[in-house]
Amino acid sequence: MIIGIAQLNYHIGNFEKNISKITQAIEEAKQHGVDLLLFSELSVSGYPPMDLLEREGFVNKCYHGIKQIAAHCDTIAAIVGGPLKNPEYEGKNLFNSAFFLFEGEIKEIINKSLLPTYDIFDEDRYFEPNKDFGIINFKGKKLALTICEDLWDQQEFETDFGKSHIYSISPMEELAKFKPDVILNVAASPYSYLKEGSKRDIFISKAKTYKIPVFYVNQIAAQTELIFEGGSMVINQKGEIYDELPFFEEEVRFFDLDKVVSQKVLRTENEDRSIIENIHNALVLGIRDYFSKMNFKKATLGLSGGIDSAVSMVLASRALGPGNLKVLLMPSQYSSEGSVTDSVKLAENLGVEYEIIKIDPIFSSFKEALHPSFGDLPEDVTEENLQARIRAVLLMSISNKFGYILLNTSNKSEAAVGYTTLYGDMSGGLSVLGDVYKTDVYNLARYINQDKNIIPCEIISKPPSAELRPDQKDADSLPDYSVLDQILYRYIELQRLSDRIIEDGFEPELVHKIIRMINANEYKRYQAPPILRISSKAFGSGRRIPLVADYNAI
């Protein structure tokens, strides 16, 4: 049996495009004598469709699209994903389903059993879990078809309560009773640099446990903040990686099941890439897909001479092309000469259009207008924030006049402790680095410069500063980022209590101060733009913290 994996990029709700991609892959597979072609979870609708699943018209269009695709499956079988409406079912009348198409019709339907409801996942909101298990018989082979988490039942998470399993049942344990010849897993699994290896381990473990080869297909796409890396795999019955499709690229490959079982071909090209390279590629894909799927063409951002805006600019240039980017340099009386010259050099290195608008006269006019209210009160953070908001007004004016989307350049470290200005440097239609800690922003800059100095070395080497007052440095308000980021990671990603963080060797007073800053600035993060997610705990839909709460007890 020849089994194909179609690792494609889908667009939520764009049925015409999704169906076209699927049918083109089917026609290509026919020419190669493929027996069965696999597509990822909810491929017809795009994943995650969220509350569009509550609209009957959306669900109906998915089903009609599946019927269209079935018409192409005459001499070939295909498995596609979509929602299935079952009005007669007691409970939620919608399933997350995989449709087995052959001989021009829907032959079998397998429903998802384990519905993830954690982090960014909320499938239990929409779907009913499957409770009936069975296999698909096709051309003399028994196929165990699983949908994403149905094969990941041994997942566990760690909190201060200890380790806990997410699921109490194992769909594969039920399917194993039928003695299948191959395990198929169709998934929509988002990228996280923290879980690159754990995904491989899941499939390797299942193949070893059941002594059955595993075919795993994942989409490659960015859907608003979520980024899907692909990385589809074939694992033989010994738990050896037979082949792995690349990260962040569309590709269709075909495999002879007999060769998978009998040969050892170890191909793990994705393991050769560093985490920073993968983060870089994920962010480029995230920007590109956000713009293309929203029908946006051009972007703008404020180029300050700092590391964050420099890295954001390079990523945007690579995602959209330098001709689709225009940046503003907006120096003030506090800006160093190097901030301007370094920014100009970077823009010229990339071939990006730039414009310099000095904000001194605007800042002076604002202070003059506010003088009757402020009187002779000393300048403080108010005037610092005023400069950031002036810059945001200028950038949004360019955005409005020319149709450019403003990219936000704040990093995760700043967002965590509130070292940002509402309606100022927090403005934007998409946050590029909002899930990247400052230390990794520097790592990205070094990766970008590995073959050629694109980002001027002065931008990387100088101490970080917002340049909103004389001789200002980030270190005036924050600990060194190498220390800060370690505390933030433990509190945000690992969700550790302060006592456990202190046990790791950090100063108690500093730990308590940082945690207070994180909790006190939740209101700011509620108003941030969508953040491209590259970790397992990003700010946004996957981290649900009360805005109004008493954090003193925690």
The catalytic residue positions are: 41, 112, 148
Q: Could you tell me how far CA 180 lies from the centroid of its own chain?
A: 34
> How many whole angstroms separate alpha carbon 233 and alpha carbon 271?
13
DSSP secondary structure, 286-332, as one string: HHHHHHHHTT---EEEE--SSHHHHHHHHHHHHHH-GGGEEEEE---
Contact at 8 Å (CB) between 312 and 325?
no
> How many whole angstroms separate alpha carbon 488 and alpha carbon 493?
8
- Which is nearest to 429 in space by CA: 532, 309, 545? 532
DSSP category for residue 366: H
Token digits of residue 101: 């198409």
CA 464 to each of CA 241, 339, 349, 447, 458: distance values in angstroms, whole numbers, following the listed order:
44, 11, 22, 19, 11
CB atoms within 10 A of CB 507: 13
For residue 328, the number of C-alpha atoms closer than 13 Å in the C-beta half-sphere is 24
Contact at 8 Å (CB) between 38 and 3?
yes
Location of structure tokens 């590709």:
251
User: Residue 61 is which amino acid?
Assistant: K
Residues linked to residue 38 through DSSP beta bridges, in sequence order: 5, 79
Radius of gyration of the chain measured on its C-alpha atoms: 26
- Which is nearest to 280 in space by CA: 227, 233, 231, 324? 227
Q: What angle do CA 329, 378, 390 make, to 5 degrees?
A: 25
Please say whether the dihedral angle defined by the alpha carbons of residues 524, 525, 527 and 529, taken in this order, is positive or negative. positive
Q: What angle do CA 186, 187, 188 make, to 5 degrees?
A: 150
> How many whole angstroms separate alpha carbon 40 and alpha carbon 252?
12
- Which is nearest to 249 in space by CA: 219, 271, 225, 223? 219
Token digits of residue 49: 């469709």
